[in-house]
Chains A and B, each alone.
Chain A
Amino acid sequence: MCLAIPGKIIEIDKNNKSATVDYGSGTKRKVNVSLVEVKRGEYVLVHAGFAIQVLDEKEALETLALFKEMLSTEGG
């Protein structure tokens, strides 16, 4: 129910309320983007046809490194 799928904004409609999101492997869908401030090229989480949050690409790419750092600090 609270499932949300990440996708990349490839085009924002003129009304600024909807956008085309690419989920990878050629799957593209129209999504309501009125709940977020988003730019073309950014990644969003999509739930029930709505983008509910913009994903932080930098944080996403650094997640594994962050985990490793936390573990090594703690594990000593």
Chain B
Amino acid sequence: MFSLRDKKLADDIISQIANTKVHLRFMHVCGTHQDTLVRHGLDFLLQRCGVEIGQGPGCPVCVTTPKEIEEILLLAKKGKTIATFGDMTRVPGVTSSLQQMKTEGCDVRTVYSIEDALMLAEKQKDREVVFMAVGFETTAPTTASVLVRKPPLNFSVLCCHRLIPPALLAILQMGEIKIDGFIEPGHVSTIIGSKPYEFISQEYHVPQVIAGFEPLDLLMATWMLVRQIKQGNAVVENEYVRAVKTQGNIKAQQLLQQVFETVDVTWRGFPTISKSGLRLRRKYEIYDARMKYEDELRKLADEEFTEPAGCLCGEVLRGLISSKQCPLFGGQCTPENPIGPCMVSSEGSCQIEYRYSKK
């Protein structure tokens, strides 16, 4: 559609970065960025120039907690029709996975959009349809857009939406890892714009660049981060100007504000992160599966759920280790037989590493 491939330009960017003789570590938070980096070998090329880039908690399926998985499994078991995005059905919970439950006769549907889930509810008025809503700021407006249209009352949402800026802040506050700069997710930013990232640069003096998803976008974003560091700057820059406006998508932001309120939630591998989750506002609580099925979900309320034995998805998501450093990677844990969600999701760094490097 718009060609963004130019080998000479890529060579020029790489050699300019190499000439700066830096040793830096950047984090991005997006599975699509990781896919571009690994598929095109940019991670390796940049490493040779002294720049390491790792994926943080930027995969909505991966950061969904074991408890949330158990909630949806329980609702499936109780006879609801469960609709969710493809990768979510394969994430192993403590007891089972949605895919496994489907083989046991539960009604689990993979959908491309929340619109498809709504259509299921409209067509089958005698069924209770629960949509497991995962995703960051990119996806949450689609959920909001459906809820403001007053869907039928046999439709509800298990809200697992999360927000990116609070997670970036948590990574910095935890201080487990040195981060010289963030590459910010282009499509989250089409919604929120560049302002919500600014406090991070101001308070932690960390440079940030919003980036697109072509190989040249990521090379250029890396170059822009390196330039900021060389100049002693720490601001939010936008490389993805063809899609991201400073103010973001105001219409989508208003919908988010109308339907959701922020709430403290845990992320897989993280402690509770303040105001990093979205919950339906009171006006929409008739569509909140946690309210609607409170009695049925009560038995999970006080249970503690642990990660699968030996699984280091938490360490991978916090950027402490690479996928290959997990002892289960490629042996016990493969895309065919995943132990943790980072190997399930096509956006998970373990699955991406496995897919392109085959161990």
- Select which of B13, B188, B252 is within 8 A of A2 by beta carbon: B188
B255 contacts A4, C-beta separation under 8 Å: no
B31 contacts A32, C-beta separation under 8 Å: no
- Select which of B12, B32, B220 is within 8 A of A3 by beta carbon: B32
- Select which of A32, A36, A47 is within 8 A of B138 by beta carbon: A47
Given contacts A1-B60, A34-B145, A60-B2, contact A45 B243 (CB under 8 A): yes
Nearest CB of A to B44, in Å: 21
Q: Tell me which residues from 13 to 41 in chain A have a Cβ below 8 Å from any Cβ of chain B.
A: 24, 32, 34-37
Q: Given the complex, which residues of A lie within 8 Å of B124, measured CB to CB? A: none
B94 an interface residue at 8 Å Cβ cutoff?
A: no
B112 an interface residue at 8 Å Cβ cutoff?
A: yes
Q: Given the complex, which residues of A lie within 8 Å of B141, measured CB to CB? A: 35, 50, 52
B16 contacts A71, C-beta separation under 8 Å: yes
A45 contacts B190, C-beta separation under 8 Å: yes
Nearest CB of A to B348, in Å: 10
Q: Given the complex, which residues of B lie within 8 Å of A48, measured CB to CB? A: 85, 112-114, 135, 139, 142
Nearest CB of A to B292, in Å: 23
Given contacts A48-B114, A49-B142, A56-B243, contact A64 B31 (CB under 8 A): no
- Select which of B9, B135, B187, B347 is within 8 A of A45 by beta carbon: B187
A1 contacts B134, C-beta separation under 8 Å: yes
Give Cα A75 to B204, complex, Å: 28
Which label, helix, strand, loop or mixed, suits the secondary structure of the A interface? mixed
Q: Number of contact residues on B: which range applies? A: 35 or more
Name A46's closest neighbour in chain B (CB-CB): B113
A47 contacts B145, C-beta separation under 8 Å: no
Most chain B beta-carbon contacts within 10 A, residue among A1, A34, A49, A60? A1
Q: Tell me which residues from 201 to 259 in chain B have a Cβ below 8 Å from any Cβ of chain A.
A: 216, 220, 223-224, 227, 241-245, 249, 251-252, 255
A71 contacts B59, C-beta separation under 8 Å: no
Give Cα A45 to B13, complex, Å: 27
B4 an interface residue at 8 Å Cβ cutoff?
A: yes
- Select which of A32, A34, A47, A68 is within 8 A of B139 by beta carbon: A47
B16 contacts A1, C-beta separation under 8 Å: no
B16 contacts A2, C-beta separation under 8 Å: no
Given contacts A2-B185, A71-B16, contact A64 B134 (CB under 8 A): no
Give Cα A7 to B249, complex, Å: 18
A1 contacts B251, C-beta separation under 8 Å: no
Q: Given the complex, which residues of B lie within 8 Å of A52, measured CB to CB? A: 138, 141, 187, 190-191, 249, 252
Q: Given the complex, which residues of A lie within 8 Å of B188, measured CB to CB? A: 2
B242 contacts A2, C-beta separation under 8 Å: no
Give Cα A24 to B61, complex, Å: 29
Give Cα A32 to B143, complex, Å: 12
- Select which of A7, A32, A47, A70 is within 8 A of B115 by beta carbon: A32
Nearest CB of B to A76, in Å: 10
Q: Given the complex, which residues of B lie within 8 Å of A32, measured CB to CB? A: 113, 115, 142, 145
A55 contacts B242, C-beta separation under 8 Å: yes
B216 contacts A67, C-beta separation under 8 Å: yes
- A contact set with B: CB distance below 8 Å: 1-4, 6-8, 24, 32, 34-37, 43, 45, 47-50, 52-53, 55-57, 59-61, 63-64, 66-68, 70-71, 74-75
User: 10 A-B contacts, Cβ less than 8 Å apart?
Assistant: A1-B135, A2-B30, A3-B347, A35-B249, A45-B190, A47-B142, A49-B115, A53-B245, A64-B4, A74-B227
19 extra A-B contacts, CB within 8 A, seeds A3-B31, A47-B138, A50-B113: A1-B59, A1-B61, A1-B134, A2-B135, A2-B139, A8-B1, A32-B145, A35-B141, A35-B145, A35-B249, A45-B187, A47-B139, A49-B112, A49-B116, A52-B141, A63-B2, A63-B242, A64-B9, A75-B12
